[in-house]
Structure 1
């Protein structure tokens, strides 16, 4: 799992043209070796609504939920859990993201190309910054585990 995370991190930074520099603090690094597949929306914090992501709500509930595992604004990197209730929204990604579905299912449509794919628990994607996407969740709750770089 550690090797997979490092490979994903390297790939995501290369997509954004940034080089990764390890933290210089004396704090020991913690390694999260497994995403909690049992994470539910009720266990997450209220993060407001989709306007936080510059997204346009097309249908459903626009509230978003999450929990940070990494939040480093200086490096413009964060990771953790993100959740929504059943909805449909559009957004142009303001960051590059690697994500894995933990609960529910979602169909992502690239508005520029028409490419469309449905993701279920265990499925992952990488989306580049600037990609226009329409999200459509198909379950009462959708939870993903993500890593993003602005």
Structure 2
């Protein structure tokens, strides 16, 4: 079992580079991304772990379905298909479908989330 709690120690994550290094496009930055894969591999149908990014904006078209919970910071996500923007704080979660294009607006100095991703279509 993997537990992600708001009061858990914040371990150091691996440098994942810029949004471009994870398949996204920086809109406002620079942004530094980091993460730690804790379940599966980047090639497996299901994977998960921790992710962080510094303040800024980036656009990404999701290559997988994702459920995530924000652990630290403040983040607004805009669904570019509908124009809907939702503001998230610690303890709040979302699901984004594979193929959706969203704009991430990281409003705090940094955010950290736990996530579970899958490429399996139901």
Q: TM-score when scaled to structure 1?
A: 0.73
**More strand, by proportion:** 2
Aligned residues of 1:78 and 1:148 also touching (Cα < 8 A) = yes
* Number of corresponding residues: 118
Q: Which of 67, 79, 102 is 1:98 aligned to?
A: 67
Q: TM-score when scaled to structure 2?
A: 0.88
Q: What RMSD in Å do the two structures reach over aligned CA positions?
A: 1.6
Unaligned runs of 5+ in 2: none
1:23-72 alpha-carbon deviations (Å, 9 max, x no partner)? xxxxxxxx12x2043454x7111012211332110112232100111123
Would the alpha carbon gap of residues 114 and 63 (structure 1) be closer, same or farther in structure 2, given more than 3 Å must change? Answer: same
1:145 alignment partner, SS class = strand
Which residue does the alignment assign to 2:115? 146
Unaligned runs of 5+ in 1: 1-30
2:21 alignment partner, SS class = helix
Which residue does the alignment assign to 1:126? 95
**More helix, by proportion:** 1
- Measured in 2, the distance between the counterparts of 1:129 and 1:61 equals 26
